[in-house]
Amino acid sequence: MKNTTHFGFKQVATNDKQSLVRDVFNSVASKYDLMNDVLSFGAHRLWKRYTIASSNVKAGDKVLDIAGGTGDLAIEFREKAGDNGQVILSDINAAMLNEGRKNLTNKGVFGVAFVQLNAQYLPFDNNTFDCVSIAFGLRNVTDKDQALTEMYRILKPGGCLLILEFSTTDSAFLKKIYDFYSFNIMPIIGGIIADDEASYQYLAESIRKHPDQETLKYMVLDAGFDFCEYHNLSGGIVALHKGIKV
C-alpha cells in the first residue's frame, strides 16, 4: 500500500485517512438523512430506488450492505429477502451504524443484523452473499482495490455487486453548475444545517477524487468480476456500477 493517499484534495498518510473519514461521519451522523434530502433535492431516494430495482434480490437471498449508514437500502433489501433471507447492515462508523439501528427500529423494521466492519477486511466466508451493495461509501475507502477484491470473494457465483457512487458528468454545462453548487453552496448548507462546513467541503472534494465511471468499471473487473456495467443517473453525477461474479 502507498504511504500517502488523498483525503479530499489533501494528501494525508494512508494510516490517517480512516480516522479522518471517521471524524467526518461522527460529525454528520445525526443529520445525515436530512442533509442527503436537502443537498440532493431528494434525488438520492430515486438513485437508491433504482439500485434496489437493479439488484434482483429475491426471497431467501443473503445481502450485505456495506457503508449502509442509516439503512435506506437495508430496509428495502429486508423486504425483498424476506424472513428466510438475511440482510446485514454494516458500516465502519459506529455513530452511523447507531443511526441505522435507530432508523430501522423507528420504522418497525426488524430482522436486520448490524455489523461494524472495514470494507477492506470483510469478516465473512468465501461465497456467502447473493448481493453486496455499497452506496456512497466506496470513495471513502482507503484501499478501494482491496475492498473490491474482498467483495468479490464473499459473493456467491451468480451474485452481484452494486456500487452507487458520485461520479463524473460528461456534460460541460451540467459540470459548471454542479461544480459551483458543490464547492460554493453545499458547504454553506452543511454549515447551517449540520453545523459542519468542513465535512461538506470534504464531500465535494472526495467526489472529484473518486475514479470516473470507466476507471471504476475496470477496477471492478480487475478485482475478479466477470462482467461490469454502469448506468449513469442524473447525467452522470451519480453512477450505478453492477459487477457480476459468474
Partner 1 sequence: MQLFAIFWRKQTVILERTLNRLIINGEVDISALNGKTIGFSLQDLPLDVHFICTNDRVFVLSVTDKLTDVNVKLTPTVFIYLLHGKDLTELLIQDKISIHGDVKTAQLLVDLLKEVDIDLEEMTSKYTGDTIANQLVKLTKKFNLTDIQSNNPLEIIKNWMSTFVNQSN
Identify which range of 17-25, 47-55, 109-117, 174-182 contacts partner 1 by CB under 8 A. Answer: 47-55
- Alpha-carbon distances, residue 192 vs 31, 38, 180 (angstroms): 11, 12, 18
50 binds partner 1 (CB under 8 A): yes
Identify which range of 36-44, 51-59, 82-90, 196-204 contacts partner 1 by CB under 8 A. Answer: 51-59
Largest CA-CA distance found in the chain, in angstroms, rounded: 48
From the number of C-beta atoms within 10 Å of its C-beta (0-12, 13-18, 19+), residue 163 rates as buried
Cell 442524473, residue located: 234
158 binds partner 1 (CB under 8 A): yes
At 139, the amino acid letter reads R
The residue (of 46 and 94) whose beta carbon lies closer to partner 1 is 46
Q: DSSP character for 183?
A: I
Which helix or strand (DSSP H or E) is residue 69 part of?
none
The residue (of 210 and 245) whose beta carbon lies closer to partner 1 is 245
- In this chain, which of 15, 56, 105, 116 binds partner 1, going by CB under 8 A? 56
221 binds partner 1 (CB under 8 A): yes
Interacting residues with partner 1 (CB under 8 A): 46, 49-50, 53-54, 56, 58-59, 157-158, 160, 221, 226-227, 229, 231-232, 242, 244, 246
